[in-house]
Amino acid sequence: MAKKAKKAKRLAKEVAALSAEVAGLKTQMARLLTKQRAALKAETDSQRKKLKAGSQQAKLKPKRVVKEVKVVAQTLGAKAAKAKSETKSAIEARMNSTRDQSPKLARRVEQPGGSRSAADLDLNKQEVKGRQEQTEGKLRGEAGKKAGDLEEQIKGKAEEVKGTVREAVGRTARKIDEK
């Protein structure tokens, strides 16, 4: 029995040593899990901050783009207005220079069938007005294209077509009067 008691004592010591080792491993495992949780929490917090910053930038971007588009639209509108006035001035200058070059023609023109005044011959006003509308329509369409405004592009094209028709009417009336 002494042998059995020795063996039981030895086994009890081994069990105690293994229990102590298991307890140490459990403690070590708990520390590692705590460290791992802390590292995961830190990474998660970092990702949340990045996501929040990206979300805020995404919210600001459309506002910035709208602001930029408005500035471009205003700039194009100013250019279109300037081009419109320049076109009108150029047409008026051309008409005045034509009148200045031949003052007799501007006053009275002898035609077969009688004389006609310059006002009667001014059927070209329709043509000039038509060309002006075409130019304005092209400018409006281009401004709409630059601003990305489909409605403005359509209105520009409609104005351009209206000018083409007006010019054709003026040209036809002039040809009829010439006959």
The full set of domain ranges for the chain reads 2-178
Confidence band for 5, pLDDT divided at 50, 70 and 90: confident
pLDDT of 111 above 50 = no
The more confidently predicted of residues 104 and 50 is 50
- 149/92: higher pLDDT: 149
For the segment 118-161, what is each residue's pLDDT rounded down to a tens digit? Answer: 444 455 788 888 899 999 999 988 888 888 888 889 998 999 99
**Nearest-CA neighbor of 137 among 162, 165, 168?**
162
- Position 30 scores a pLDDT of 92
Q: Is the pTM of this model over 0.75?
A: no
pLDDT band at 101 (very low <50, low <70, confident <90, very high): low
What is the tens place of the pLDDT at every residue in 13-66? Answer: 999 999 999 999 999 999 999 999 999 999 999 999 988 888 887 777 777 777
Residue 104 and residue 45: Cα distance in Å, rounded?
89
